[in-house]
Amino acid sequence: MRYLLIALFAALLFIPFLGEAHLFDWDEINFAEAAREMIVTHNFSQVQIDFRPFWEKPPLFIWMQAGSMMLFGVNDFAARLPNAIIGIVTLLSIYAIGKKHGDAKLGLWWVLVYAGSWLPHFYFKSGIIDPTFNLFIFLAIYFAYRIAYTQKTFATAALSGLFLGLAVLTKGPVAILVAILVLIVYWIANKGRIAIKFSHIGIIALLACFTTLLWFGYEILMHGWWFVNEFVRYQIRLLTTEDAGHGGPFFYHWIVLLVGCFPASVFLFNYQQRSRKKSIYTATSVSFELKDFTKWMWVLFWVVLILFSVVKTKIVHYSSLCYFPLTFLAAVQVYRLAEGKSTLRWWNLTLLLFIGVVLGIAIGALPLVGVYKDQLIPYIHDQFAVANLQADVPWSVAEAGYGLGYALLVIISGVLLAKKKMQSGLIMLFLSTILAIQVTVVHFVPKVEAYSQRAAIEFFESFQGRDVYVKALSYHSYAQHYYSREMPHSNKNYYNTEWLLNGQIDKPAYFICRITDSEPYRQHPNLEVIGEKNGFVFFKRK
């Protein structure tokens, strides 16, 4: 019965309002467009963008999106639905694991901590690959850990290999790198004591290879090595070089996790402080398994955090695999607090109140920026940002109450925790965060999207069903393909921007650029301006 209730709870959190805002450039639209092109071309083997091979990602998540679109149509809801389903599976999985290695209360706390933290929750309402990848790699590591505590060691190793293979098919060989590093670091941390034998590693490797070869092998047999070679080269380049516009300092992901995984991140610090105290349980086999699983989770957390702190390219979701160990470790401490087996120090409480109030004020400030934008614009020196703010988005001062209300609920939770009313304070803290996330997704995200990209997307949508060329100039976008519902062009000169601008085109061509890049195109003899809106300038080829 609990599993059904958790599934219903997760479905209510993750499925409604998925299509409330357009997909965001780049990643969301990128994957959705690849799924749409699979349906258009009936080529489900190779991932394509703009009807050309796209070797940056394996196809598993794209297949999931394509299946969703075949059921519900090509739309934003269908593009995001697979992650909502993964969200339901994730909450059911962590409840089952928490219950197995602790009790039902630990499982329920883990569900509440995961769903009640900002980024872990928010990602299940997105159309990016990472939530699906994270679940598969987590389950691969979980079943590797389980080898020590089951008589069915080879079956468990096979499950680990299966999920590892699925993770590779979702995002690539980084899954293997993470798994190997976790195994090595655990072996070192455990002073060479490990129940995973070479025979188990062989089974894991065999099943992982078999699973990945279902695609890699087929692709090599049908199309040769070039696609796979380009795919591998891209993965290496991503790890060793800084992707344009995606750099950052070493501590980038540390800050992302501290703020983005609030309030779970606050209790992780409490875990470090209290970790030497006695366990939740007495010395039983159950508590030993829990202690060992905790060690695995610490290893996974630090391996992922340090690995992607070292990697040159810094993108928020690169550290999202940390959400599983972080929320588990936080849930253990939340459980201990609720049962009176641990206490919060003043600095834990101070950090909780500080981050919670700052987040509440930031949410509350959004409507005020919209209401008083005319007064703020003179202080903004970015022409594109100023033009974005010209979007007609209705705001009222009263909407600041959403953010201030969240800040107030965090303060009330802090007061309850300070008064040792732990269970009430914790439940209020995480439920108020769930409520704030829902309000943000439904009410604020569509309005932010109206500033950042809606004018461009509406321009692209106007070409649906028309046989024209549509191109973005001086900036990279996938939106023109997805939102114009572009079909394959018979004239391959289309891929040559110079030809579109100056050549003998065979059908109408339309262009878009940002206002900051528009001057050369305004002067171009073959282009005429047909409109401008919110920082974007629209052109037609004469």
For residue range 322-378, list pLDDT tens digits in order: 999 999 999 999 999 999 888 888 888 999 999 999 999 999 999 999 999 989 889
Q: Assess whether pLDDT exceeds 60 at residue 243.
A: no
Contact 323, 374 (CB under 8 A): no
| Displacement of CA 478 from its chain's centroid (Å) | 18
Contacts 24+ apart (CB under 8 A), 84-89: 84/11, 84/14, 84/15, 84/18, 84/124, 84/125, 86/124, 86/131, 86/132, 86/135, 87/10, 87/13, 87/14, 87/124, 87/125, 87/131, 88/7, 88/10, 88/11, 88/14, 89/135
Q: Is 9 exposed, middle or buried (0-12, 13-18, 19+ CB in 10 A)?
A: middle
Mean pLDDT of the residues in the chain: 91
Give the percent of the chain with pLDDT over 90.
Answer: 78
What pLDDT does 487 receive? 95
275 — pLDDT class (breaks 50, 70, 90): very low
Structure confidence by residue, pLDDT tens digits, 372-429: 998 988 999 999 999 999 999 999 999 999 999 999 999 999 999 999 999 999 999 9
What pLDDT does 282 receive? 45
How would you classify the pairing of strands 536-541 and 509-514?
antiparallel
Residue 234 corresponds to which tokens in the numbers above? 């891209």
- The residue ranking higher by pLDDT, 270 or 187, is 187
How far apart (Å, rounded) are the C-alpha atoms in residues 66 and 57?
15
Give 230-281 as a DSSP string.
HHHHHHHHHHHS--TT----TTHHHHHHHHHTTTHHHHHHHHHHHTTSPPSS
Q: What average pLDDT does range 265-287 have in this prediction? A: 58
482 — pLDDT class (breaks 50, 70, 90): very high
Q: What average pLDDT does range 155-174 have in this prediction? A: 95
Structure confidence by residue, pLDDT tens digits, 12-47: 999 999 999 999 988 899 999 999 999 999 999 889
278 — pLDDT class (breaks 50, 70, 90): very low
C-alpha separations of 443 from 189, 436, 511, 524 in Å:
46, 10, 31, 41
How far apart (Å, rounded) are the C-alpha atoms in residues 229 and 482?
27
**Of the spans 200-209, 265-274, 306-315, 344-353, which averages the highest pLDDT?**
200-209
Q: What average pLDDT does range 444-450 have in this prediction? A: 95
| Displacement of CA 230 from its chain's centroid (Å) | 24
Peptide bond into 82 cis (omega under 30): no
How would you classify the pairing of strands 536-541 and 527-533?
antiparallel
Nearest to 115 by CA among 425, 436, 442, 434: 434
How far apart (Å, rounded) are the C-alpha atoms in residues 468 and 480?
11
Q: What average pLDDT does range 195-215 have in this prediction? A: 94
Peptide bond into 26 cis (omega under 30): yes
What pLDDT does 54 receive? 87
Q: What is the pTM of this model?
A: 0.93
CB atoms within 10 A of CB 255: 11
How far apart (Å, rounded) are the C-alpha atoms in residues 138 and 367?
38
How far apart (Å, rounded) are the C-alpha atoms in residues 69 and 78?
5
How does DSSP classify residue 467?
-
Residue with tokens 């796979």: 228
71 Cβ contact list (under 8 Å, min separation 6): 78
What pLDDT does 354 receive? 97
What pLDDT does 248 receive? 72
Q: Is 293 exposed, middle or buried (0-12, 13-18, 19+ CB in 10 A)?
A: buried
